[in-house]
């Protein structure tokens, strides 16, 4: 069976995913595209033979759309996800699921009432081979109980439109999700400290930031978010346990020895760093739909948790205080205690 996908939002990542679904993932075809910028929708749709539709509602309602991909701006996600749930169609939503906890809870309520999981959130790090190895080691007990996790999330530069709150909402959101999954634990408090700011930033931006999270089991996580580090796109993660530690591998790269030096390349963007993870994420999503299975990837509950924790982190940045995340208890529908 070919899964026919309708795409809402044909910007940077929408176009990437349209190409991926067309050329890399078997069993999928993009049949409809929309964007509030019609020219952009046309540019993305024409090469893959998809029709351009006027808006998200039309894409979701289309007879030749079996599943929906939401890659529009964050504040528009909730509306599209809720419409897809109402139509009973599987929906993959790029992060964030929604920009407010209230909207995430509306999605959770709608999906729960539907009675079957339809929503998957685009936290692709869970599909990265290195993070999967890290999880296997932690789950195996080889390093004992995890105690501390040291992380860094570095981007070479960001545009002037990137604001200080985006360090949590847009960037650290990936660590928030992947660490909850890696540790099988919940983040209960968050704090932000700001070291000396880099001169390589736009003046309005607090960069770098150090985020400090505490989990329900007492694990302490420090995360450096540095989005103007200049030298490359660099993701680091090291979990320290009672009996050992495990570190995320750097992407494979040849070592070149020449002119008295030994060099290995550092990647410069997330597109290259997580290309394989995105491919695996979409292969598994499409295969699940083709087999009529519920999605197994990050759920609406994970999307809710990420939005609550990153919003609390913005509050921590702005107030200078330690902020409790105050998540609601996880419903049984999402694997919580009944």
Binding site for ligand ISE (CB under 6 A): 155, 170-171, 174, 227, 270
Sheet bearing 187-193, strands edge to edge: 245-247, 234-241, 146-154, 220-226, 209-215, 187-193, 323-324
The reply to whether 35 sits near ligand NAD by the rule CB under 6 A is yes
Distances (CA, A) of 148 to 126, 215, 222, 333: 20, 10, 8, 30
Compute the least distance from the CB of residue 273 to ligand NAD, in Å: 9
d(CA 21, CA 275): 13
268 binds ligand NAD (CB under 6 A): no
122 binds, among ligand ISE, ligand NAD, none (CB under 5 to 8 A by kind): ligand NAD
- Contact residue for ligand NAD among 3, 5, 7, 13 (CB under 6 A): 13
| Contact predicate 217/185, CB 8 Å | yes
Half-sphere exposure of 41 (CA within 13 A, CB side): 22
Minimum Å gap between C-beta 270 and ligand ISE is 4
Residue 71 binds ligand NAD (CB under 6 A) = yes
H or E stretch including 149? strand 146-154
For Cα atoms 227, 147, 137, give the angle at the middle one, nearest 5 degrees. 85
| Contact flag: residue 313 with ligand NAD (CB under 6 A) | no
Closer residue to ligand ISE, CB minimum distance, 83 or 120: 120
DSSP string, 206-233: --SEEEEEEETT--EEEEEEETT-SS--
* 260 contacts: CB under 8 Å, gap ≥ 6: none
Which of ligand ISE, ligand NAD, none interacts with 94 (beta carbon under 5 to 8 A by kind)? ligand NAD
Residues that contact ligand NAD, how many (by CB under 6 A): 24
**From CA 56, how far away is CA 7, in angstroms rounded?**
8
Q: Do residues 8 and 80 touch, judged by C-beta distance below 8 A?
A: yes
Interface pick for ligand NAD out of 226, 270, 285, 304 (rule CB under 6 A): 270
Q: Which stretch binds ligand NAD (CB under 6 A): 31-39, 104-112, 195-203, 205-213?
A: 31-39
Q: How far is the CB of 265 from ligand NAD (least distance, A)?
A: 20
Map the footprint of ligand NAD across residues 176-215, applying CB under 6 A: none
Which residue of this chain has its Cβ atom nearest to ligand NAD in the complex?
11
Binding site for ligand NAD (CB under 6 A): 8-14, 34-37, 40, 56, 71-74, 76, 94-95, 122, 124, 170, 270
């Amino acid at each position: 069976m070919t899964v026919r996908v309708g795409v809402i939002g044909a910007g940077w990542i929408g176009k990437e995913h349209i190409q991926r679904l067309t050329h890399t993932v078997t069993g999928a075809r993009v049949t409809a595209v929309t964007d509030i910028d019609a020219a952009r929708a046309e540019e993305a749709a024409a090469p893959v033979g998809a029709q351009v539709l006027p808006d998200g509602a039309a894409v979701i309602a289309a007879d030749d759309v079996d599943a929906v991909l939401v890659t529009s701006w964050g504040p528009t996600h909730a509306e599209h996800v809720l419409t897809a749930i109402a139509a009973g169609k599987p929906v993959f939503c790029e992060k964030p699921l929604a920009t407010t906890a209230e909207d995430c809870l509306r999605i959770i309520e709608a999906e729960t009432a539907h009675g079957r999981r339809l929503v998957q959130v685009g936290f692709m790090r869970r599909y990265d081979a290195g993070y999967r190895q890290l999880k296997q080691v932690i789950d195996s007990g080889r390093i004992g109980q995890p105690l501390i996790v040291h992380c860094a999330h570095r981007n070479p530069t960001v545009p002037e439109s990137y604001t200080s709150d985006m360090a949590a909402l847009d960037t650290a959101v990936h660590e928030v999700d992947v660490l909850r999954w890696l540790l099988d634990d919940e983040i209960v408090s968050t704090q932000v400290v700001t070291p000396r700011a880099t001169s390589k930033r736009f003046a309005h931006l607090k960069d770098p930031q150090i985020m400090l999270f505490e989990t329900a089991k007492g694990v302490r996580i420090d995360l450096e978010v540095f989005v103007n580090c200049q030298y490359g796109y660099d993701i680091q993660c090291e979990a320290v346990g009672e009996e050992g530690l495990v570190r995320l591998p750097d992407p494979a790269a040849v070592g070149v020895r020449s002119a008295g030096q030994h060099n290995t390349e550092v990647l410069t963007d997330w597109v290259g760093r997580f290309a394989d993870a995105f491919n695996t994420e979409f292969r598994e999503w499409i295969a699940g739909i083709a087999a009529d299975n519920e999605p197994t990837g990050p759920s609406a509950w994970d999307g809710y948790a990420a939005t609550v924790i990153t919003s609390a982190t913005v509050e921590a940045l702005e107030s200078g205080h330690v902020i409790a995340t105050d998540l609601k208890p996880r419903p049984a529908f999402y694997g919580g205690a009944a």
